[in-house]
Amino acid sequence: MKFATKAIRDGQQPDPTTGSVIVPIYQTANFVFEGVGQPHAYEYSRSANPTRTALEQCLASLEEARFGLAFSSGMAAEDAVLSILRPGDHVVASENLYGGTFRLFEQVWRPRQVSFTYVAGSDPQAFAKAITSCTRLVWVETPANPLLQLVDLRAVAQASRAAGVPLVVDNTFASPFFQRPLTLGASIVVHSTTKYVSGHSDVIGGAVLTSDEKLHEAIKFYQNAVGAVPGPQDCWLTLRGLKTLAVRMKQHEQNALAVAKFLTQQPKVREVIYPGLASHPQHELARSQMDGFGAIVTFRLDGGRADVSRFVKKLKVFLFAESLGGVESLACHPATMSHATMTPEERQRIGITEGTVRLSVGIEDVADLIEDLGQALDPLSR
Same domain, 157 and 213: yes
List 332's β-bridge partners, or say none.
Answer: 358
Strands (DSSP E) found in 171-308: 188-192, 206-210, 269-273, 296-301
- Assess contact for 127 and 138: CB atoms under 8 A: yes
- Assess contact for 272 and 297: CB atoms under 8 A: yes
Is pLDDT at 197 greater than 70 in this prediction? yes
Last-in-domain residue among 242, 268, 286: 242
pLDDT band at 303 (very low <50, low <70, confident <90, very high): confident
pLDDT band at 38 (very low <50, low <70, confident <90, very high): confident
Same domain, 55 and 187: yes
Amino acid at 13: Q
The SS3 call for residue 235 is helix
H or E stretch at 285: helix 283-289
**Helices 50-62 & 232-242, crossing angle to 10 degrees?**
30
Is pLDDT at 40 greater than 90 in this prediction? no
What burial letters (b/e) apply to 272-291, b meaning 16+ CB within 10 Å?
A: bbbbbbeebebbebbeebbe
- Assess contact for 275 and 302: CB atoms under 8 A: no
Residue of 312, 318, 369, 315 lying closest to 335 (CA atoms): 312
Write out pLDDT tens, residues 124-177: 999 999 999 999 999 999 999 999 999 999 999 999 999 999 999 999 999 999
What string of DSSP letters covers 94-162?
ES---HHHHHIIIIIIGGGT-EEEEE-TT-HHHHHHH--TTEEEEEEESSPTTT-----HHHHHHHHHH
Last-in-domain residue among 242, 262, 295: 242
- β 90-94/67-71 pair status: unpaired
Amino acid at 34: E
Mean pLDDT of the chain: 96
Cis upstream peptide for 143 (omega within 30°):
yes
Same domain, 192 and 291: no
Q: Which of 46, 250, 310, 314 is catalytic?
A: 46
Write out pLDDT tens, residues 238-294: 999 999 999 999 999 999 999 999 999 999 999 999 999 999 999 999 999 999 999
32-46, 112-126, 275-289, 347-361: lowest mean pLDDT where? 32-46
Q: Which of 52, 180, 195, 347 is catalytic?
A: 195
The SS3 call for residue 206 is strand
Q: What is the pLDDT of residue 204?
A: 98
The CATH number of the domain holding residue 213 is: 3.40.640.10
Q: Which of 79, 152, 170, 234 is catalytic?
A: 170
Q: Which of 26, 98, 222, 274 is catalytic?
A: 98
For the chain, what is the domain count? 2
Is position 170 annotated as part of the catalytic site? yes
Q: How many whole angstroms separate alpha carbon 357 and alpha carbon 302?
A: 11
Same domain, 43 and 170: yes
In terms of phi and psi (left: phi > 0; alpha: psi -120 to 50; beta: otherwise), the region of 326 is beta
- Assess contact for 140 and 169: CB atoms under 8 A: yes
Same domain, 298 and 219: no
Last-in-domain residue among 222, 242, 262: 242
Same domain, 192 and 227: yes
Is position 98 annotated as part of the catalytic site? yes
Is pLDDT at 39 greater than 90 in this prediction? no
Is position 46 annotated as part of the catalytic site? yes
Same domain, 155 and 205: yes
The CATH number of the domain holding residue 255 is: 3.90.1150.10
Cα Rg, the chain, nearest whole Å = 21
Mean pLDDT of 305-314: 96
**Domain hosting residue 202, numbered range:** 3-242
Is pLDDT at 382 greater than 70 in this prediction? no
Same domain, 325 and 366: yes
Is pLDDT at 67 greater than 70 in this prediction? yes
Q: How many whole angstroms separate alpha carbon 204 and alpha carbon 356?
A: 26
